[in-house]
Structure 1
Amino acid sequence: MRVKLLATPVQASALEATLRACNRAATHASAVAFAKGLKDRNGLQKEVYVDLKAAFGLSAQPVVRAVKKVVDAYAALRANLQAGNLGPSTSRRYRKAVGTPIVFRPEAAQPFDDRCLSWQYDARTVSVWTVDGRMKGIRYTGSPDQLKTLHQYRKGESDLVCRGGKWFLVATCEVPDPQVYEPADWVGVDRGIVNLATTSDGTNYQGRRLARYRRWQARKRSELQKKNTRSARRRLARRAHKEQRHATHVNHRISKEIVRVAQRTGRGVAVEQLGGIRERVRLRRDQRGTLSSWPFHQLGQHLAYKARKAGVPFLEVDAAYTSQRCPRCGHTERANRSARDHFRCRRCGLAGPADHVAGVNVRDRARSAWAFVTMPVPPPAQPESGRCDP
């Protein structure tokens, strides 16, 4: 849960100094961990604890949080290397990642636990440790739903974040999941580039406006980059995350509507499993940018967590041939989809929009998958009673 801090100039100055000091300390601890091969938290803390307190002006608990941040960063790096997210071991990106210590940006987020940061819910203020002492009475704000969730379910760490000169606290909230009901049927969702989402009910969420907006943003970035002036660079920095926020808003709106329809009709939500699609698909050079900025993964994440929050069943099914299979007779052939937008079965003649047909196939596979998951397990066979003759 992210809430905005309404910090005064004095409070903002103290928060900025604290964030920079914590990240300088984390960068120093990262260099020590890289040089001495320290991977465990206790070993690294024993090595750098005294230095971080003396050289960077941190108290005991912020030092512990900075060390934990370094250990978590190296654990995430190892996971990315093992998953192949940084390319093969011969790539330049891979060699740079394993050959240099991790460096933390001056404005990188810093975690605070309940010893460093306390919440006063009634007054809507927080008290935060800073390098200038304990800073009390920092006001925060948010929507009524955010504040209610924060008050009821906040637990654990909170991250101090600075974005564009504005200060935020990202608090961890453990919200219990409602019980998932037994679905009467399923809403199959087919995700794509031209059409962001198409449901088995025939509802189509087109991506034409989003694609047009992305092209406009790319053109504006190109114009500013060609100017290469101080003003142009400042404008580029201000626009850095604007396109991403717009795509996130579109995904929120689509996923919220799909989950609301499924909840109102007592159905579940089913989507295709599209993991690793960038590695499986070979595209022309002019198509690579479109696929890389395609927000299909985020849309799937939004659908999953909104469904879980509402108690709606959610399934991911096999995506193979969903746009080439006829949902009426089961005939699967590439020629069934003669064009991107049109489907016509070569055997039974069923015709319709290709994305709608794919959504229906996703729904049918969800029916079979759910029946298999909820199938009762037969009890183990009992040995026959009686006397066995030799």
Structure 2
Amino acid sequence: MSWNRDARIVSLWTPTGRVTVPYTGRPEDLKAVEALPIGEADLLYRRGVWLLQVTVTLPRPHLREPANGFLGVDQGVANLAVTSDGAVLPGTALPGPIQGNGHVRALRERRHRQRRRLQKKGTPAARRVLRRLSGREHRMMTDLNHQISKYVVREAERTGRGIALEDLQGIRGRVRAHRLQRRTLHSWTFAQMIEFTRYKAARAGIDFILVDPAYTSQACPECGWTSRANRPARGRFVCTRCGLAGHADHIAARNIAQRGTAGRAVVNQPHATGLPSARRDRESKPPASAGGS
């Protein structure tokens, strides 16, 4: 494969000989291909269109210090994401036809019932409809996670904060769920939103940290009192010691933000070498390039 970036033409070697074709894309993608070093590429044929997925090497941005603390984000099933500022996502802060978390759950349930009905029918026409519907829900959730992660990164960048999320690795094995909720829990895209937020934060030079999720919705961010009794209802938090009340997901996001600040302080505590541990680790490793497409 060889490139003529000025003419926007790529030359590909194929089993039947070399083919020279023009390429196009979004303005930001074309700018990246023209200005950045190009790495590996995949040629895909998808729904009648040829796609060339190109990897470029991005410069490592300067990691800014979170001078104003961390923006905490609580992930869940009832609410996809709630920030420590009180923003419930998706919602009016995001563009698009999705009106809120209830709308997302209704769409997923409707498509689940539709798939079960078509699978039970089993006719050739039903299979054709299933093929047409395949991937629609995945694309919807991927788009939502992109929008949520973009919003979170923009807010952190605007306010000079880092981003703290819960480390939800293995949550499906730890959480007990009612049998009616297991399908929803096991099909939720927690990891995808974490990864989208992680790489967007890295590109913007924003500090990103994962914190321990234990008891974030049962602990009081004001007095620190942790008790199951602080949760009188699923979405309600009332501290039995100091009386702080609010939405449970918002309280959890505030605890996540506090744990992000505390975790950052531990990582950067002084060492005998005279350097903070995070800076010492960065300086002891060779620089690595970030990938994008």
Same fold (TM over 0.5): yes
Q: What is residue 14 of structure 1 aligned with on the other side?
A: none
User: In 2, distance between residues paired with 1:341 and 1:271?
Assistant: 19
- CA-CA distance at 1:204 after TM superposition: 1.1
Determine if the alignment matches structure 1 residue 189 to structure 2 residue 73.
yes
Q: Is the 8 A contact 1:164 1:238 kept in 2?
A: no
Instruction: Select 1:259's aligned residue among 153, 156, 173.
Output: 153
Q: What is residue 171 of structure 1 aligned with on the other side?
A: 54
- CA-CA distance at 1:161 after TM superposition: 1.5
Q: How does 1:311-322 map to 2 (within 5 A)?
A: 311-322=205-216
Rg larger in structure:
1
Deviations 1:204-261 (A, max 9, x none): 1152221111112112222332332323222211221111111111111111111101
Determine if the alignment matches structure 1 residue 128 to structure 2 residue 22.
no
Determine if the alignment matches structure 1 residue 150 to structure 2 residue 44.
no
User: In 1, distance between residues paired with 2:269 and 2:182?
Assistant: 43
State the number of aligned residues: 263
Call closer, same or farther: CA 1:370–1:124 in 2, change over 3 Å: same
- CA-CA distance at 1:119 after TM superposition: 2.3
Deviations 1:321-355 (A, max 9, x none): 10001111111111111111000111111111101
Paired letter, 2:60: D
Paired letter, 2:88: N
Q: How does 1:343-382 map to 2 (within 5 A)?
A: 343-379=237-273
Determine if the alignment matches structure 1 residue 203 to structure 2 residue 90.
no
User: In 1, distance between residues paired with 2:17 and 2:162?
Assistant: 52
- CA-CA distance at 1:141 after TM superposition: 1.7
User: In 2, distance between residues paired with 1:328 and 1:215?
Assistant: 38
User: In 2, distance between residues paired with 1:131 and 1:361?
Assistant: 57
User: In 1, distance between residues paired with 2:156 and 2:85?
Assistant: 11
Determine if the alignment matches structure 1 residue 139 to structure 2 residue 22.
yes
Q: Is the 8 A contact 1:267 1:312 kept in 2?
A: yes
User: In 1, distance between residues paired with 2:136 and 2:5?
Assistant: 31
Q: How does 1:1-390 map to 2 (within 5 A)?
A: 117-136=1-20, 138-184=21-67, 185-205=69-89, 206-379=100-273
User: In 2, distance between residues paired with 1:232 and 1:297?
Assistant: 32
Deviations 1:143-197 (A, max 9, x none): 0001111222243221112222322111111112210111121111111111111
Q: Moved runs in structure 1, 4+ residues, more than 6 A?
A: none
Unaligned runs of 5+ in 1: 1-116, 381-390
Paired letter, 1:167: W
Paired letter, 1:161: L
Unaligned runs of 5+ in 2: 90-99, 275-293
User: In 2, distance between residues paired with 1:230 and 1:165?
Assistant: 22
User: In 2, distance between residues paired with 1:359 and 1:282?
Assistant: 21
| Aligned CA-pair RMSD | 1.6
SS in 2 for 1:259: helix
TM-score normalised according to structure 2 size: 0.85
Which of the two has greater helix per residue?
1
- CA-CA distance at 1:379 after TM superposition: 4.7
Call closer, same or farther: CA 1:139–1:192 in 2, change over 3 Å: same
Call closer, same or farther: CA 1:379–1:178 in 2, change over 3 Å: closer
SS in 1 for 2:198: helix
Deviations 1:118-156 (A, max 9, x none): 2222222222222211122x2222100011112222432
Q: Is the 8 A contact 1:154 1:171 kept in 2?
A: no
Q: What is residue 30 of structure 1 aligned with on the other side?
A: none
Call closer, same or farther: CA 1:164–1:235 in 2, change over 3 Å: farther
Paired letter, 1:122: D
Higher-RCO chain (CA-CA 8 Å, sequence separation at least 6):
2
How many percent of aligned residue pairs carry the same amino acid?
A: 49
Deviations 1:270-298 (A, max 9, x none): 11111011122233332221012211211
Call closer, same or farther: CA 1:277–1:176 in 2, change over 3 Å: same
User: In 2, distance between residues paired with 1:324 and 1:201?
Assistant: 18
